[in-house]
């Protein structure tokens, strides 16, 4: 499976992107929120990818940040949400906006996204509620400003570790949010979060 592409951006015509990787042109589709972060045509680009295999086509989707791809993949797990709807959600809302909509149960805002009706919006809120913190915490400004891959982000690692320890994702996220994490590594964040939850 193709997980990441690094090459020269040859064309960007929403929602399509063409990236030249060592002489091979890869066509991808990306959400509009990714287009805002793309470099100019002719410049180098790195995209995190997701492949969808259908009977009639192999489709490649590209994201500028690992967190975008993670959210896309979580959306695909929701009953009735396919790549088109997931792409529409990420085109209409940033990762942070979507997280806020789910947390606030903002059905009205979700239904403004093309292809999302009231029932789908309700399903998204119900099914994504417990999954989002592990996806969304990694989208904090500190983690994304550098443009570095996010899996090594200590905040994201801490939340994932707490979830592995048996805490619910929303509990883990809440515990980590209450800590001044600047300059701390994942282990220190986990230690402080556990201390806070034990009080």
Spatial contact of 13 and 35, defined as CB atoms under 8 Å apart: no
pLDDT tens readout for residues 50-97 = 999 888 888 999 999 998 899 999 999 988 888 988 998 988 888 888
Of the pLDDT bands very low, low, confident and very high (cuts 50, 70, 90), residue 173 is: confident
Supply the DSSP string of 26-49, one letter for each residue.
EEEE--HHHHTT---TTSEEEEEE
CATH 3.40.50.1100 fits 66-134, yes or no: no
Domain chopping of the chain, boundaries: 4-63, 66-134, 152-198
Q: Is the peptide bond before 151 cis (omega within 30 degrees of 0)?
A: no
**pTM for this one?**
0.65
The residue written with tokens 């592990």 in the block is 134
Q: Between helices 66-76 and 95-104, what is the axis angle to 10°?
A: 40
Indicate the fold that domain 152-198 takes in CATH.
Answer: Helicase, Ruva Protein; domain 3 (1.10.8)
Say how far apart CA 180 and CA 197 lie, in whole Å: 15
Q: What angle do CA 172, 173, 176 make, to 5 degrees?
A: 85
Query: Token pair for residue 54?
Result: 């259908």
Pure H helices in the chain:
32-35, 66-76, 83-92, 95-104, 107-110, 118-128, 132-136, 141-144, 154-164, 169-177, 186-198
Out of 2.40.50.140, 3.30.360.10, 2.30.29.30, 2.60.40.1180, which CATH number does the structure's domain 4-63 have?
2.40.50.140
């Amino acid at each position: 499976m193709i997980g990441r592409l690094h090459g020269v951006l040859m064309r960007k015509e929403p929602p399509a992107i063409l990236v030249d990787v060592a002489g091979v042109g890869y066509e991808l589709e990306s959400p509009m929120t990714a287009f805002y972060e793309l470099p100019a045509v002719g410049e180098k680009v790195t995209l995190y990818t997701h492949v969808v295999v259908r009977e009639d086509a192999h489709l490649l989707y590209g994201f500028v940040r690992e967190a975008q791809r993670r959210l896309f993949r979580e959306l695909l797990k929701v009953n009735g949400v396919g790549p088109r709807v997931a792409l529409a959600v990420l085109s209409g809302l940033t990762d942070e906006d979507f997280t806020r909509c789910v947390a606030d149960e903002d059905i009205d805002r979700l239904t403004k996204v093309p292809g999302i009706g009231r029932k789908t919006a309700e399903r998204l809120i119900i099914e994504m509620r417990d999954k989002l913190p592990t996806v969304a915490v990694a989208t904090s400004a500190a983690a994304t400003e550098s443009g570095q891959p996010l899996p090594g982000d200590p905040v994201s690692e801490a939340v994932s570790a707490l979830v592995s320890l048996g805490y619910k994702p929303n509990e883990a996220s809440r515990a980590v949010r209450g800590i001044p994490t600047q300059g701390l590594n994942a282990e220190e964040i986990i230690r402080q979060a556990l201390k806070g939850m034990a009080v």
